[in-house]
């Protein structure tokens, strides 16, 4: 299914280490350790929880990077796509709060997620196939990180995503504008306040007159996704007397206005993803409370 799987992992490892180190494992050994490490990290274990985890510390520190995990997600997505004989053109983004095990003295209780920790912007396909998980500060709005999230999604999905959906700031005017400019992806989410009035003629003319400027903004966001945070947190960024933030917002409003007129049933999909994430959150809490006492009993 993925004949060049190991070769791409080796190539990425050599690129990350500037060719100073070579791969120490065979393909089978690397695969066993990789999936054991992913399971270890995903289930929120500690190295001392079991002897089988002791040997994973070196592998995780040496080989398991964010780029390696994204590459593996890319392979999994390709495999699932080839099995279904159907390409994924839509992504669903939902944010859930996760409690951190280690809490800073500066951490505060987050009223929206009811957690003390961080936010996880999870991306899945409409049939619940995993795409990406993006960690960000719980005090961030989704708009601050939406360009970075979409950049990861397009990397995993080989740039085939055309539509994304979500709630609140995920599909705000500024989010819709930035994502369309950077990755040509249309926002089609559950909008709390649907645009009822059409964009005025003068604003549409202003968008037409500044198409070249919008294209340059899109290229900047595509090359440096972290700049999306800057645009999302500012009200005024003036270039030659033009407020770039307002220009991007107007473009996003125009996109959301056209989408709201289309018959796209995304409410059912969003609800299913939210229920799935809530179940995963509860399962993680139960699993964590189960593994800790069991380890303590075995040690006694």
Report whether pLDDT(196) > 80.
Answer: no
Q: How confident is the model at residue 261, as a pLDDT?
A: 76
118-145 pLDDT, tens digit each: 777 888 887 777 888 888 877 778 888 8
- In whole angstroms, give the CA distance from residue 49 to residue 291: 8
The per-residue pLDDT for 154 is: 92
- Name the band, by pLDDT with cuts 50, 70 and 90, for residue 181: very high
pLDDT in tens, 36-87: 888 887 776 777 777 777 788 888 888 888 888 888 888 888 888 887 767 7
The pLDDT-based confidence of 293 (bands split at 50, 70, 90) is very low
Q: How far, in Å, CA of 39 to CA of 164, rounded?
A: 28
pLDDT at 272 over 90: no
Q: What is the pLDDT of residue 122?
A: 82
pLDDT at 294: 41
The mean per-residue pLDDT over the stretch 255-270 comes to: 75
Check whether 290 has a pLDDT greater than 60: no
Predicted local distance difference test score (pLDDT) of residue 280: 62
Q: 26-40, 230-244, 246-260, 263-277: which range is least confident on average? A: 263-277
pLDDT of residue 108: 64
Range of 174-183, 197-206, 290-299 with top mean pLDDT:
174-183
Q: How confident is the model at residue 90 (pLDDT cuts 50, 70, 90)?
A: confident
Q: Where are the domains of the chain?
A: 1-85, 87-299
Instruction: Indicate the pLDDT class of residue 158, thresholds 50, 70 and 90.
Output: confident
Q: What does the pLDDT read at residue 63?
A: 86
Residue 112: pLDDT band with limits 50, 70, 90? low
What pLDDT is stored for residue 298 in this prediction? Answer: 44
Determine the pLDDT at residue 282: 61
């Amino acid at each position: 299914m993925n004949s060049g799987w190991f070769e791409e992992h080796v190539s990425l490892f050599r690129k990350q280490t500037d060719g100073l180190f070579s791969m120490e494992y065979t393909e089978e050994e690397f695969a066993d350790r990789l999936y054991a490490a992913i399971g270890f990290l995903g289930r929120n274990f500690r190295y001392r929880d079991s002897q089988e985890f002791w040997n994973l510390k070196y592998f995780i520190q040496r080989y398991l990077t964010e780029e390696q995990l994204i590459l593996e997600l890319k392979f999994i997505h390709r495999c699932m796509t080839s099995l279904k004989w159907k390409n994924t053109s839509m992504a669903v983004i939902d944010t859930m709060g996760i409690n951190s095990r280690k809490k800073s003295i500066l951490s505060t209780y987050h009223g929206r997620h009811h957690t003390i920790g961080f936010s996880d912007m999870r991306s899945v396909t409409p049939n619940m196939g995993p795409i990406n998980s993006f960690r960000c500060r719980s005090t961030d709005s989704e708009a601050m990180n939406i360009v970075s999230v979409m950049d990861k999604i397009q990397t995993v999905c080989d740039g085939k995503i055309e539509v994304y959906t979500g709630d609140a700031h995920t599909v705000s005017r500024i989010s819709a504008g930035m994502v369309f400019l950077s990755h040509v992806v249309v926002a089609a989410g559950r909008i709390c306040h649907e645009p009822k009035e059409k964009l005025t003629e003068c604003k549409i003319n202003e968008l037409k007159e500044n198409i070249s400027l919008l294209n340059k903004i899109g290229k900047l966001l595509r090359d440096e996704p972290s700049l999306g945070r800057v645009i999302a947190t500012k009200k005024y960024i003036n270039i030659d007397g033009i407020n770039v933030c307002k220009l991007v917002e107007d473009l996003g409003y125009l996109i959301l206005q056209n989408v709201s007129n289309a018959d796209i049933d995304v409410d059912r999909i969003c609800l299913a993803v939210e229920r799935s994430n809530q179940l995963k959150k509860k399962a993680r809490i139960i699993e964590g409370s189960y593994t800790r006492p069991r380890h303590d009993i075995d040690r006694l």
